[in-house]
């Protein structure tokens, strides 16, 4: 039992630190992107900032577990994060707004959902094609990176109208904290710049240091996922413990993905509370595109460039393909739900949350069959 409790506790602890550090670099990203138009900021600055955990986790999975196991962890984190971002984060943001207001639904820009949704579906289909070929090398990884560059270029060329987001100091006099209080709750923004207003230099300082801390913590999250997936593993002092003995893909799809998605959740929830509904949704979808093209593509490019292509077994191709079908299908369903009707209400949000838990049930069932 200790063999399961220990890695789960470590994953939970890492998730908390990622959340707190992510909450701090939200302050930096909000300031950096304060002059971007609504919908562009969420899909670029917020999406990149909130997806830093996925980037570090993919990198550590590949270079810590190596080859097939590392690839399983990397793709599992990205796939799981995409579904969590598409189904859970916007739904929770909507429920948070509707529970604190008299509104029956919130209206979002269908243009933004269709724009980012079509890019996402295209990238998912492309990635499924790569998997079907049975080999991932630096060329496939480079294609993913270039697609993200093209996506960002397209955003800035075509996204017109909307309004600029004015940065506001996110705390009042009553909310100002002492350094001791900031340390106790891991409020990096207060620790780095105190209660003073932000400027560009301080915002970038928060952004960079928070990202480095997240990267450090993500290493231990990867280690914990590796422990949980192994049949046995060794811990200093505690000795040899028993894990689940399943593909690390299953572990990453749920635990690494959820742990890495805390910053996305916080950003979208806060944007929705401030009435920036388009940014709340575009952050979730923009993060998905970043996750697949950069957070997964860049580590794969670095790894395969130095270690050669990753050749997948037939069983692994079959396993990833079956999960990718869920992945693609649920992404399409989420897009249709969001663009149908005049807005997003509680019933739509509950439906998407239910679909996510059905996916989780499928993953647990598949993992039990593979033991």
CATH code at 260?
Answer: 1.20.1420.30
Residue 324 belongs to some domain of the structure: yes
Residue 264 belongs to some domain of the structure: yes
Q: Give the chain's domain count.
A: 1
Environment class of 133 (CB within 10 Å of its CB; exposed 0-12, middle 13-18, buried 19+)? exposed
Instruction: Report the pLDDT value the prediction gives residue 193, as an integer from 0 to 100.
Output: 67
With a pLDDT cut of 70, the percent of the chain lying above it is 80
Instruction: Report the pLDDT value the prediction gives residue 207, as an integer from 0 to 100.
Output: 76
Domain residues for the domain of 350 are 2-19+37-163+213-370
Residue 185 belongs to some domain of the structure: no
The model's pLDDT over 35-60, given as tens digits with 9 standing for 90+, comes to 666 556 655 666 666 677 888 899 99
> How many other β-carbons are positioned within 10 Å of the β-carbon of residue 54?
32
Residue 182 belongs to some domain of the structure: no
Environment class of 332 (CB within 10 Å of its CB; exposed 0-12, middle 13-18, buried 19+)? middle
Q: What rounded mean pLDDT belongs to the chain?
A: 81
Structure tokens that stand for 57 in this block: 């986790």
Going by pLDDT thresholds of 50, 70 and 90, the confidence category of residue 346 is confident
Task: Write the DSSP string, 326-337.
Answer: HHHHHHHHHHHH
Residue 301 belongs to some domain of the structure: yes
- Ranges assigned E (strand) in the chain: 105-106, 135-136, 232-235, 239-242, 310-311, 344-345
For residue 137, pLDDT beyond 90: yes
CA distances from 14 to 28, 57, 221 (A): 21, 12, 6
How far apart CA 233 and CA 142 sit, in angstroms, is: 35
The model's pLDDT over 65-106, given as tens digits with 9 standing for 90+, comes to 888 888 999 999 988 888 888 888 888 888 888 887 777 888
Residue 245 belongs to some domain of the structure: yes
Residue 242 belongs to some domain of the structure: yes
For residue 161, pLDDT beyond 60: no
> Which candidate, 50, 4, 119, 105, places its Cα nearest to that of 342?
105
């Amino acid at each position: 039992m200790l063999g399961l409790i220990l890695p789960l506790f470590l994953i939970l602890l890492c998730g908390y630190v990622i959340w707190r550090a992510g909450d701090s670099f939200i302050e930096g990203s909000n300031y950096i992107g304060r002059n971007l138009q609504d919908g562009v900021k969420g899909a670029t600055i917020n999406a990149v900032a909130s997806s830093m955990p996925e980037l570090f986790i993919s990198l550590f999975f590949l270079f810590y577990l190596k080859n097939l196991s590392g690839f399983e962890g990397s793709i599992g984190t990205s796939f799981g994060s995409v579904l969590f971002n598409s189904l859970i984060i916007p739904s929770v943001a909507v429920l948070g707004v509707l529970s604190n207001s008299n509104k029956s639904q919130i209206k979002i820009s269908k243009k933004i959902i269709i724009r980012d949704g079509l890019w996402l579906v295209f990238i998912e289909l492309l990635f499924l094609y790569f998997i079907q070929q049975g080999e991932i090398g630096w060329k496939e990884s480079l294609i993913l990176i270039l697609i993200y560059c093209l996506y960002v270029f397209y955003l800035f060329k075509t996204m017109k109208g909307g309004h600029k987001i004015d940065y506001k100091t996110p705390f009042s006099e009553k909310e100002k904290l002492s350094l001791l209080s900031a340390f106790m709750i891991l409020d990096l923004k207060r620790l780095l710049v105190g209660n003073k207003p932000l400027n560009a230099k301080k915002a970038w300082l928060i952004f960079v240091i928070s990202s480095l801390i997240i990267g450090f913590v993500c290493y231990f999250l990867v280690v914990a996922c590796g422990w949980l997936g192994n049949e046995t593993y060794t811990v200093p002092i505690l000795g040899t413990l028993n894990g689940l003995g399943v593909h690390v893909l299953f572990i990453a799809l749920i635990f690494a993905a959820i742990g890495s998605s805390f910053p996305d959740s916080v950003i979208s929830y806060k944007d929705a509370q401030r009435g920036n509904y388009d940014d709340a949704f575009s952050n979730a979808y923009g993060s998905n595109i970043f996750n697949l093209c950069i957070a997964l593509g860049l580590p794969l490019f670095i790894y395969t460039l130095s270690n050669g292509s990753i050749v997948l077994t037939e069983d692994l191709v079959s396993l990833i393909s079956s999960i990718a079908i869920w992945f693609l299908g649920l992404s399409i369903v989420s897009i249709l739900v969001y663009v149908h009707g005049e807005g997003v209400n509680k019933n739509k949000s509950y439906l998407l949350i239910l679909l996510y838990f059905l996916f989780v049930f499928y993953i647990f069932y598949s993992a039990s069959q593979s033991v």
